[in-house]
Every structure is written in C-alpha cells, then in structure tokens.
Amino acid sequence: MMVLPLYLLPPVEWYRAGIEAGGFYVSVQEPYVKQTLRNRYRIAGPNGVQALSVPVQADSARGELNQVQIAYAERWLSEHKHACQAAYGKSPFYEFYDYRIWDLFEAKPVHLLDLSRPLLERLHGFLQLHDLPLQFVHQPRLIDRAVFV
C-alpha cells in the first residue's frame, strides 16, 4: 500500500500515483512541513502558473498536520477566488463546479485538515474515481517526498 501526503489541491502527479497504486491512502498524521503543497496549490493563470497559499497560524505550524490552524486575518480567500475566476471563469462548466469548491473554503474551517479532507473527497467525486478507495490513514507516508514537492 502506498500512502500519499495530504495536499490541499494535489497536482496531477499525485492523482497518477494514486491511480497506479490502486487507491488513495492519504496520511493525516505526519509533521507539517512549510513551503509544501499542504497549504499551497498552483493554477494555470492568464500569465502562467500562479501559486496560491492558504496562510496558517505560525504557532500551530510547528506540530503535526492535524494541529495546523488556518489564519483568516488576511484577505486570502477573496484573492484566491478572483485568481481562479480570472484563470478559469470562461472555461466550460466552470459555473457548475466553482460553488461546490468555494463553499468549503467559505465555511472557514479552523484546521487545515478540515479543509483539505473534504476538498479531496469532493475532487475524488468530480474526477469519477469511485472505483478507487479514498481513505485517510493515521500512519507516516511511504512515498518519496520529491515526487510531489
């Protein structure tokens, strides 16, 4: 069994690894590592790839992933929505998916895990990966970090 790292909105390589492994077993119990895709994601913006980051509370960023808290003092949510609208707003079917993702962000979950987990569940359904299990496991990763960072 291959255990994948928990990412906010994973890249295609993450999905490819899960499909090749026959399922998505995602670790929710590991140390939080700064400057990784745990609180970041990339979109194809109008001027190239754009990196977006969900800010976390500094005092909670030293523990395990399930303890990391999201910082809402900044206006990052509206910036993320505007960036995605500019990048994908004219794409076919955008209006059928955007509200299904942003409602999870707008719920303002306290912990990063409480945002990442339902996002992955929803994306799993959007991508019609129903035949492949999506399970959140409490064990360290068994996959090379360099594949996805």
Distances, alpha carbon 91 to alpha carbons 48, 94, 97, in Å: 16, 6, 11
Structure token digits, residue 1: 């069994």
Q: What is the pLDDT of residues 116-142, one digit of tens each?
A: 999 999 999 999 999 999 999 987 655
Q: Which range of residues forms the domain containing residue 115?
A: 3-147
Number of domains in the chain: 1
- The pTM assigned to this predicted structure is 0.87
- Residues of the chain predicted below pLDDT 50: 144, 146, 149
